[in-house]
Every structure is written in structure tokens, then in C-alpha cells.
Structure 1
């Protein structure tokens, strides 16, 4: 998801530093038991467009973790929880796509569980040096925010400086630790469906091109449960989407008779009927651009069907996010039209 990048430039450096390093404010995912083998680690509602959910699947012999938070302090806290919770070795790490809040935190999990195999889409594997650089770039951003925060520390009242200095010292310690980690290349690149046996519990990993050009989804329980990553988000981010493929895939899920439970990359668990809303949003993007090819982006935003956005207007964060996603989606639909 891209809200973290979109809002980065409006957060003062001191508070940015604390946000990216704070375990207490960012680590509180809710563990929801789906069945005997699966836990849905739901991100805090207020962070649902900034950071991702995770899914833990455990069989009799192995465990598999789907996605990693983009907040490294939160991933470290999760790693400690996993070490206490798991009854079996963590054998597999699956990144559903390349966005920061799903992939980069894998570096922390790889450090905590060095024997776990990272699994990604073949397209992600082919471009992996880009994401390794993104990990280093993120650390460089953290370092810069720490430096700026120390500079601003002098502007605070004297009585506040001690508290902030202690927090910044902790942030620096964490940064120096993360600097010794690396995002290691995946051992498995998925280009066709693959089944993994975790020990009396099978998971199917499926390659798709929808939310990005390199998505993975997972199905379990004879196809009744889908872990769909950002493909199945109720409010989808379409800025990197393969829009036609995405729409067709959502239609397939909606018409899949045995599908019962859908775990998205952001937000709460869904039923397949709820996928009609993101499908409508994505279809409307394509149709609106196709029918108004001479419109500017501003005109497309102003004339976008209000009924499509109405469900996203019920809550402030949904409203703010839907406007940003609308703009990104219209740009993507324009690009798609020009390249067809």
C-alpha cells in the first residue's frame, strides 16, 4: 500500500522517527484464529491503509507466514511472539507482492528465522535487486530522520529533551541493528501453481497479475479459504494494477461456489459478496477513462460516478484514502488505455 509514502513528507521528522521505531504504537496486530491451522494477524484499523495484515498457517511439521509489516520494530515484536507461539519450525515466508509493507519486513523475519525459505512471484524474483535496494533506501531514510530529529531536539523545551533523547537513542540502536540485516534472495520463485504440505495441511500458492505484475495468492481448506493479499482489499489500491486481469480475477472469486472466507492484505476478513465493491471500483476506473478519453485527470476525478465512491464516504480514513486511490487508479487506467 502507498499511503505511507504519500504522507511521508507531511510528518515532522521527530515524530516520523518515533513512529517507524515504536513497537508499542505499531505492533498491536490482533490475532484472530480462523481455524485450527490458521491465524489472521489483522493490522490496527487506524493503520489499515498504511501497513499490512499477516497470516500464519501451521501444519503438523511446518509453519508458513504470509507477508511482513513494513514497520521493522513491529516485525521484531512479531518474531518474538512467533518464537513463543509456534509448535513447529517456521519453514516458509511468502510475500504476496513487492510493495514495501509486504516484502521489506521479510529481512527482519529472515534474520530471526534464518532457515525459513522466502517465496515470491517469479516477476518479483527477477527484479529482486530492486527490492534489496529498496530495503537499503528505507534504512537510509530512517537514518536521515534520526539525524533531523536530533537537530530538532534542541528546539524543544529543556524539560522535554531528556525523554525525547532516550527515545531517539533507542531508535538509533534499532537502526544500527537493522543495518546488519539484509533482504536475502528468495529460494522459490512461483510461475505456476505450487502445493506445499505443511504436515497434514496443504496450501496452494497461485501466481497472478492483478494488483501488481507479480502477485501471489494462497488457498486452503479445499479452496474455501483465500488469502488474497491486496487483490481482495475492499478499497483497492490500483496504482500498479493490471486492471483487466484484476477485474476478471475478482469476478472468478465472486462466482466460485465453494469460497467462504477471504483474508485481504488490508482491512478485515471478507465474504465473497463484498468483493463486488472493489470490482465495481476497478471496472468504473477503466470504463470512465475509456468513455472520457479527452478529459484531464482533474475532470475525470470531478466526474467519476458518485455512487461508486459512496460506500467509501462513511468514515474519514476511507474518504481520504479513496480520493488518493481514485487519482492513482485513473492515472493507471489512462496508461493502460494508451498502451492497448
Structure 2
């Protein structure tokens, strides 16, 4: 019973209507809207940012929940007053990039912008999109097979949801991640119509990160580089610490829009900076300890800061383990 319940609930985000765990749209300024994931999904799916000028709009990142991306597409079609000219993928993780296939299908003229490092690897990202759909299909079929284990009164409800999921899956099978139009090696400035934005390339959270600055650097769309609880499993610690230090010291920045979690202020960057510094220092100070020992001896104050609810109580140990492993391997 636990397995079928897990499979059905895990697929619920695909089969359920977009109103479930809906993304919250926050107006940051006259030109910027922050699409924040619900608190329950803040470690599992990404935020997005919509930037609009007088002539063009730009969407920064795409949710990993394709049904949610379709809901965003419908809202954009009903509310955008200018063409969606650009799509920006902050990095290659599934919850930021794969949903771009949905956007590209509905807005075929929008130019996809990625870090230059991703250009040569883009075929593997298309495979990641296909692999995700394959995993959806397996979940649907297994859920159908075990549907009889559910209470009789609930079986038709779940059958309807799974049939809807199959319809969506068939639709998504027709889409593809189209080749990027623009690659950023260092800096790219775009004019959206009396509203310039700057896209900067880094190697920090991954080897191919993009951020966006707007309104004379007062607004920073920092993606996962600036998350309150950063995931350091793939990062370059030295570069990441340098970048966070620079951003923390940049007095122009007033508002920070992270890849996960709520809106931050510039001073909030001290928290992820301290966390990453502590991981690096801890691994350096205890070279003989294995990962379990490193985790057990890590400063417990961070657990107190981060484990504030049931979701973060599960996420924090995983993030810490990934960071300790990455830091140890980089020695």
C-alpha cells in the first residue's frame, strides 16, 4: 500500500490540476515578477522570474513540473503585452532547464540563452528530457497495475487522474529541447525596451551558471547560486565563495531572487556564504574523517538555522552530505 500511495502521490504533480500547490506570483517591480514555488516544493522545484520591457519579455528558468509550466504558459498568453523574446536557463539541472521544451513549443520565436559551457552538452540534455518522460510513463503504468489495491471508492478518481497524465505525456512526447540561440561566456546585455538587463556567466553552483541583473543592479536574479540553503553537490567551492563574497559586498543590490525559497536581501547572502565556508573549513580541518564522521562533527548551529520545518529537516542533511562529499573530493 505504501508503494502505490507513493507512486500515485509522486505522479500527482503531473496528473493534478495546476491549482494544487500553485506557484505564487509576486510583483517585485513594475517590470519584474517572481514566480515562487510553494513552501512544500521549495527544495524540489525551481522558482521562475518574468521580466518585461516595453518591447520584449524574458522568462528566467522553467519549472521541472511540466503541468505547472503549461499553466504558466496559459497565464503568459493571457497577460503578456509584448512578445516573449528570451528564455534563460540558469543551469542544467532538471528543475531549471527541462521545462524549457514546453516554453519553446508554445513560444517558438523565443531565443533560448544558456551558459557557453552547455552548448556542447545539449544533446545529453535532450536525452534527460526524454528520460524524464520515460520515468513518468513507467510510474503511470505501474500505478495503473496497482490501482486495484486502492479503496474502491477512490479508484475512479485515481483512474481519471492517470488517464489525464497519459494524455499530457503523449503531448509532451511531441516536444523537444531546441538548440540554444545564444550562449554566454562572460556577460550579455539585452535591451527589452527601455529596460536593459545583464546576464552574467559563472562557474559556482555548477560549471555553467547564469544570473541576471536589472534596474542598475538593484535586482539580482541569482538562481541557485544565492539560495538560502544552497545545494553544493556539484559546485566549485572556491569560485562560489568568491562570487558570494562579491555579491554580498555589492551595495547596489537591494533585492535577490533565488532559485529556491523566498525573496532575499543582500545581507541574507551571509547565510549561504557562512554555510559553504564552514563546509570547506570543516573538511580541511579533519582530513582523516570519513563522510559520516564529518557530518556528525559538523557545527550543529547550522542545523538549528536550517531545520525549521518538516521539509527542511529532510533536506538539510542531504544538502550537507552532498557538500561535504564535494568538498572532500575537491581536495
Decide: shared fold, TM above 0.5.
Answer: yes
In 1, the alpha carbon distance for the partners of 2:41 and 2:304 equals: 21
Among 101, 110, 113, the alignment partner of 1:119 is 113
Q: How far has the Cα of 1:277 moved from its partner?
A: 0.7
Determine the structure 2 residue equivalent to 1:50. Answer: 44
1:266 aligns with 2:266: no
Q: How far has the Cα of 1:161 moved from its partner?
A: 1.9
In 2, the alpha carbon distance for the partners of 1:28 and 1:17 equals: 16
Among 136, 140, 151, the alignment partner of 1:146 is 140
1:182 aligns with 2:167: no
Determine the structure 2 residue equivalent to 1:246. Answer: 240
In 1, the alpha carbon distance for the partners of 2:225 and 2:5 equals: 29
Moved more, 313-322 or 110-119: 313-322
Determine the structure 1 residue equivalent to 2:70. Answer: 76
Where does 1:1-340 land on structure 2 (aligned, <5 Å)?
12-24=6-18, 26=20, 28-337=22-331
In 1, the alpha carbon distance for the partners of 2:287 and 2:19 equals: 45
1:42 and 1:267 in contact (8 A); partners too = yes
1:21 and 1:72 in contact (8 A); partners too = no
Q: How far has the Cα of 1:27 moved from its partner?
A: 5.9
Offset from partner CA, 1:275-295 (integer Å, 9 cap, x none): 111001101111111111110
Residue aligned with 1:320, SS:
helix
Ranges of 4+ aligned residues in structure 1 off by more than 4 Å: none
In 1, the alpha carbon distance for the partners of 2:25 and 2:12 equals: 24
Residue aligned with 1:181, SS:
coil
Structure 1 length-normalised TM: 0.94
In 2, the alpha carbon distance for the partners of 1:260 and 1:298 equals: 39
In 2, the alpha carbon distance for the partners of 1:38 and 1:187 equals: 23
Structure 2 length-normalised TM: 0.97
In 2, the alpha carbon distance for the partners of 1:10 and 1:158 equals: 14
Structure 1 unpaired stretches of 5+: 1-8
Offset from partner CA, 1:221-279 (integer Å, 9 cap, x none): 11111000000000000000111110111110111111111000011111111111100
Structure 2 unpaired stretches of 5+: none
Residue aligned with 1:56, SS:
strand
In 1, the alpha carbon distance for the partners of 2:84 and 2:114 equals: 16
RMSD: 1.4
1:59 and 1:199 in contact (8 A); partners too = yes
2:117 and 2:208 in contact (8 A); partners too = yes
Q: How far has the Cα of 1:10 moved from its partner?
A: 10
In 2, the alpha carbon distance for the partners of 1:249 and 1:26 equals: 36
In 2, the alpha carbon distance for the partners of 1:277 and 1:251 equals: 11
Q: How far has the Cα of 1:59 moved from its partner?
A: 0.4
Q: How far has the Cα of 1:166 moved from its partner?
A: 1.1
Count how many residue pairs are aligned between Structure 1 and Structure 2. 329
Determine the structure 2 residue equivalent to 1:5. Answer: none
